[in-house]
Structure 1
C-alpha cells in the first residue's frame, strides 16, 4: 500500500461566662504564643546570600519564591545569581529567567534565554518527535501484546484493503479479478484497479461471502475507502478523477484521486458528485466521519500540507454544504505521510503515518481529540498491528473492541490483506494525577490550596483547589511530564515535576508545603524549617564543608534573631561500622558544628551537643539487616533541638 493510495495560625476560642476564667485562658494563650518563633525562611535565605554564600538550591528557591508571586524584578536578581554559578539547569529556568528579563527591560538577554530554551526543547518537528520519543521502540513494545490478530478470511491473491461498516456489512476495496472482460490493470503495479466489495458481518464481527458492492459507483479506475452515515443513506468514497465518463487530469497530465459523495435512492447508490474542495491538481482521499457526522476527516496533499500528505478536516453543514478544509496541524502531521484517518465514537482518531517514529513503512497511530479540538499525545498502537511493512486503514468498534486493519506484511495472502482483531487492552492511556497537600512540619492536610498544572514546556493545562481533605486530582496523559505548582496563603509556593507512567492507572503526587513563617517551640527541630536533614562532612572526617556552612548560616541567622534560643545539637550515623566508632565520629561532628556556631558569634552557654552514633535509628536498619542506601540515609541525620526560647 506504500505506493498505492495515499494537563499556622493557632486559633483559640474562649467561651466562658466567668470573666476571670476567660482572662486566665487569654493569659495562657498569650504565653503560649510568646513561646513560639515565627521564622521567615525566605528572609533568612536572603540574609545568608547577602553574606556571600551561594548554592544552586538556595538561588532556585529565592528565584521561584518571587517568580511564583509575580515579583519578576526580584526573581530576575536571584535567577541571575543562579545562572552565574551554573548553566546546567532544566529548561524551565531558562524560560522563567527570560520572562523576568523581559519584565525588567533586558530584551536582548531575554531573547538569548528564550533561544536557549527553544534549543533545549528542539525545533525541527521530526527531531522533536525523536527527542520526545528517544525510547520509542521500548514504547512500542510496551504498547504491544494488546491484540489478537488473524486473517479476516475475505482476502484474495490481489490487493484487499480498507474497511467500513455499512449496516450489517463490511465494505472494502479489492483488486480481485472477477472474470469480467472489462477488468483493467494499472500499468504502475500490474494490479487490477480496485472496486468496492462487501461481505456480510454478523454480531461476532465474522465475515461471510464476498460480493460486489454496487455497480453504480463502479468506474474504469480505482474506488476505495468508503464511509457511511449512520442512517445508511449517504456514502463518501475515494475514486480516481473520473466522473460521468470523463477523466480529469492535473497540469502534469496525471489522473489524481478525489473524494466523492453518493446517495441511496431506491436501494441503489446514485447522484455521485465530487466534493467542492477537490481539485484536479492535488489529491483528496480516505474520508472518515466524526461520530456526530458534522466533521469529515480526510487525507490530502493540497496547498498548506506540511508533508507529503496530511490529515485535514472540514465541516459538514446541515444543508449538505461544506466549510473550508483545515489542516490538523503539526501535532499530528509531519514532513512525512499521514493518511487513512478513522474516528470512533470515543473521539479517538486513528491514522497511518511514516513520519512518526514507528517500525517501518506506514504504522498506525492514535490520539484523542479533546473537547477544544486539541490533540493528546500521539501513540503507536503496537507491534501486533504494526509491522516493518505498511499497516493502515484501521477500524474499531468501541463496544466489542473488535475491528479490522490492512497490511502488506509478510505472510499475507495477496498484495494487501485485511486482518481482523480483538483489542484485549485499551491503549489510550487515561491517567489520574492525584495527591494530598499538607503542612510539611505538622503533617496536617491543607484545604483551599491552589494548584496549577503545566506541561513540559510550561504551558498551563488546568487548575484545581484542594478539598477539605487536602486532596486534588487532574486528568493527565500517560507518558508525559508535568509540573504541579501549589500556592496557599502563609505558605511558600512549591512546584513539583512528575513523569506519568506509560500505562493506564493513577499516579500519586503528595506535596508538603513549608510555612512562609516556620512555627517552632521547645522540643522541635529547628532544622526542619530549612529542610536540613544532616550537616555534611567528608568521609571519616569532622571538618565543616562548604555545603554544611551554608546550612549552619541559616541556623546562625535564626539564633541571632532569637538571642534567648538554646539548642541541643545531635549527630547520628547509620549502623554501618562499629558502634563504638560511629558514636565517637558523630560526637566529633556534633562538637565541630557547635564550635562553628561559637566561632561565628553564638554564646557557648546556648549550645550543647552530643553524638549518638547508631543508638537512635529511625528504621529497621540495624546491624545485620540488609537495607538500601536510601534507608541508611534516614539514619544519617543532624538535629537542632530547641531547648529554650
Structure 2
C-alpha cells in the first residue's frame, strides 16, 4: 500500500513539475518576445516572475540585466550582472563584462569596474574599448583634469516627466518631452513604461516667450518625436521620429518600429509642413539624432545601419545644393566603438560633441568632444568632465561658442523628472586643438653652414601640404602643428636632396628638429672654388705665421668631408694675402700657408695625389686696395683669403 501511494505521489509531482516547466517556458517565451521588441519594462516584470518561481539561467540574467541597463536602473542591473558572472562564469560574454563594468562605474565602484574590464580585455583584445582601457586611477585623472569648467544653471521649463534633446531655435529652444499634454488617454512606450515623446518650443517667438508650446501636428504624432536641429534661417527642421508614414506605423521583420529622420519646411503661415522622410532611412535599422555642420552642407546622425561598429555609430552625409543627399559615411573607429556613440552636435568652431558609453567615462553615457576641422576625425577624444558628466546618462549636449552657453540632458538623481535639461556656462574653454611647436635649423650636412631661405613644410599623412615657412638669416625656423594627427616635417633647398621627419600623435610637448641636407650633386665644375660652394668662413692665420689655427680647422674639415664624400674630387689650395707688407714676403707667406693647409689635409687622410698648393701673395687682389691706396681694414680683409679650386 505504501509503495502504491509513493508511486502515485511521484506521478503527481512529475506532472506538477512538468506543468511548472511548461508555465516557465511560456513566461520566458513571452518575456523574450518583449525583450526582442525592446519592450524592456514588461520584459523586466516577466523575467522577475520567472526568477521568483525559482528558475534561473545565464540567458535570463543577461536579458534582465540588459533591460535594467537600458533603462538606466543601474542598481538592479548591477545586482543582476553580479549573479550572472558569479553563477554562470563559463557562459559570460565580453559584452556582459562590459555592461557590468559600465554599471559599476555608474554605482561609483570604479576599482571593481576596473577588475571586470580586465576580464573584458582578456576576451577581446582587438576591441577599441579594450585598447582604450586604462586603470581607474589613470582615466579618472584625465577626466578630473577637464572637470570644473562648466557652471550648471537651472532650466526652469523641466517637468516631472522626461525632458531632453534641447536644440537651438531662434532665440530659444526646441526640446523633447513626454510631459502631460492634458489628454486623458495617453500613449505609453513599453521600452520604459513612459509616455511617448513630442517636440516643444520655448522662448522662440515673441508671442509665446516664457511659455512651453507644443509643435504642430505635422511634426508631432502618436509615437516618438525627439532630437531635432534647425537651419540658421529657421526654415528647415530635421527631427527624429518613429517609423510612421502617412499615419501608418511600419515595423521591421522583428516587429520593431525603428527610428527615422524626417525633414520639415516652414510654411508661409508659420506652421511646419511638407514633412518628408530622408532617403537613407530604412525599415530594418534606425537613423536618428540629426546635427548640422556650421555651413549646413553636412548632416551628422546616429545609426545602427550596416557598417556600424557597435550598437550605434555616428555617420555623416553630404547635403547637395538641390536638397538631395549623398551616401552616408561612418566617422570611423577613432570616434565610434563597439558600444554606443550617439547624439552628435557640431559647433561653429567644428567641435563634434557626442555621447558614448564606449570611451572611458564616469558611467552610463558621457559627453565627449573632438575637433573635426577639414573633416579629420582622428583627433583626440576628450571627456568634458564634471559637472556635465556624472555617473548616470548625460547626453544631447549643445553649445554656443559665442556666448559660451549651452544645454544638455541627464537622468541624474537630483532631477525633477526621469530626464532633465540642464543649462550651463563654460567658464574655462576646453582646448581641443593639440598645439605643438616645432623649431630647429637647416644646415649643409658637409659644411654645417646654416641654409638661409630653405623651405620647411608640414605635410599630413594624406600627402597634403598644410603649411610652410622659410628659414631666417640664422637658418632657423618655427612651426606650430596639430599634434592630434601624424605629420611629416620636410626641409627643402635648391641644389639639395629634401629630408623629412615624421611626428606622430603626441602630447604636444615642444620638439626640436635640425635638418642636415646633402647636396644632390657637386654643382661646381673644374676651376670653381669649393670654398664658395660650401660657404666657408675665412681661413685665418695668426700674424706673420702659417700654422693652422683651431678656428680654421673647422672650416678645413668641411673641405675634407666633401673630398671623402666625393672620392674623385681634386683640390688645389690657393692662398692670398692683402697688399700690406713687402710683395716678396707676402708671396712666400702665402705659399707656406697653402702648403700648411695641404699638409693638414694629408694628415687627416686625404691622398696627396688629390691635392696641390700655390701661394699668390698680393698678386690677385679682389679690389682696388693695392700698395699706396688707402683702404679700411675690412676692405683689406676681402683680399686675405684661401681658395679650394677643383682641378682635373
Task: Classify the TM-score, shorter chain.
Answer: 0.5 to 0.7
- Work out whether 1:433 is the aligned partner of 2:460: no
Does structure 1 retain, via aligned residues, the 8 Å contact 2:484–2:506?
A: yes
Number of the residue aligned with 1:208: 210
**SS state at 2:186 partner:** coil
Give 1:477's match in structure 2, choosing from 472, 479, 482.
482
Does structure 2 retain, via aligned residues, the 8 Å contact 1:491–1:514?
A: no
CA shift, 1:321, in A, is 2.2
Does structure 1 retain, via aligned residues, the 8 Å contact 2:439–2:478?
A: yes
Number of the residue aligned with 1:420: 423
Q: Partners in 1 of 2:470 and 2:133 — Cα distance?
A: 37
Number of the residue aligned with 2:350: 347
Range with bigger deviation, 425-434 or 212-221:
425-434
Range with bigger deviation, 515-524 or 183-192:
515-524
Does structure 2 retain, via aligned residues, the 8 Å contact 1:377–1:477?
A: no
CA shift, 1:246, in A, is 0.9
Number of the residue aligned with 1:254: 256
CA shift, 1:220, in A, is 1.1
CA shift, 1:237, in A, is 0.7
- Work out whether 1:234 is the aligned partner of 2:236: yes
CA separation of 1:4 and 1:348: change in aligned 2, threshold 3 A: farther
Q: Partners in 2 of 1:232 and 1:150 — Cα distance?
A: 26
CA shift, 1:168, in A, is 2.0
Number of the residue aligned with 1:624: none
CA shift, 1:155, in A, is 1.3
CA shift, 1:302, in A, is 1.0
CA separation of 1:293 and 1:515: change in aligned 2, threshold 3 A: closer
**SS state at 2:335 partner:** coil
Q: Partners in 1 of 2:480 and 2:380 — Cα distance?
A: 13
Number of the residue aligned with 1:390: 393
Q: 1:41-56 residue pairs with structure 2 within 5 A?
A: none
Does structure 2 retain, via aligned residues, the 8 Å contact 1:289–1:342?
A: yes
Larger radius of gyration: 2
Range with bigger deviation, 475-484 or 157-166:
475-484
Q: 1:53-92 residue pairs with structure 2 within 5 A?
A: none
CA deviation digits over 1:221-259, x for unaligned, max 9? 111111112222221111111233211111001111111
Give 2:328's match in structure 1, choosing from 321, 325, 329.
325
Give 1:156's match in structure 2, choosing from 156, 159, 162.
159
Q: Partners in 2 of 1:318 and 1:460 — Cα distance?
A: 27
Give 1:522's match in structure 2, choosing from 542, 549, 554.
549
Number of the residue aligned with 2:452: 447
CA shift, 1:211, in A, is 2.6
Q: Partners in 2 of 1:411 and 1:270 — Cα distance?
A: 38
Q: Partners in 2 of 1:345 and 1:303 — Cα distance?
A: 30
Q: Partners in 2 of 1:314 and 1:499 — Cα distance?
A: 27
Give 2:184's match in structure 1, choosing from 177, 181, 184.
181
Does structure 1 retain, via aligned residues, the 8 Å contact 2:346–2:353?
A: yes
CA shift, 1:196, in A, is 1.0
Q: Partners in 1 of 2:195 and 2:471 — Cα distance?
A: 65
CA RMSD after TM alignment: 4.1
CA separation of 1:347 and 1:435: change in aligned 2, threshold 3 A: same
Q: Partners in 1 of 2:504 and 2:318 — Cα distance?
A: 38
CA shift, 1:272, in A, is 2.1
Instruction: Give structure 1 stretches of 5+ with no counterpart.
Output: 6-121, 531-559, 567-645
Q: Partners in 1 of 2:485 and 2:323 — Cα distance?
A: 40
CA shift, 1:313, in A, is 1.5
CA separation of 1:166 and 1:151: change in aligned 2, threshold 3 A: same
CA shift, 1:166, in A, is 1.4
**SS state at 2:228 partner:** strand
Q: Partners in 1 of 2:329 and 2:274 — Cα distance?
A: 26
- Work out whether 1:464 is the aligned partner of 2:531: no
Does structure 1 retain, via aligned residues, the 8 Å contact 2:434–2:484?
A: no
Q: Partners in 1 of 2:437 and 2:410 — Cα distance?
A: 37
Give 1:381's match in structure 2, choosing from 366, 380, 384.
384
CA separation of 1:525 and 1:420: change in aligned 2, threshold 3 A: farther
TM-score, with structure 1 as normaliser? 0.56
Does structure 2 retain, via aligned residues, the 8 Å contact 1:436–1:445?
A: no
- Work out whether 1:368 is the aligned partner of 2:395: no
CA shift, 1:498, in A, is 8.2
- Work out whether 1:359 is the aligned partner of 2:362: yes
Q: Partners in 1 of 2:463 and 2:195 — Cα distance?
A: 51
TM-score, with structure 2 as normaliser? 0.56
**SS state at 1:341 partner:** strand
CA separation of 1:494 and 1:330: change in aligned 2, threshold 3 A: closer
**SS state at 2:373 partner:** coil
Q: 1:478-493 residue pairs with structure 2 within 5 A?
A: 478=483, 484=489, 486=491
Does structure 2 retain, via aligned residues, the 8 Å contact 1:126–1:356?
A: yes
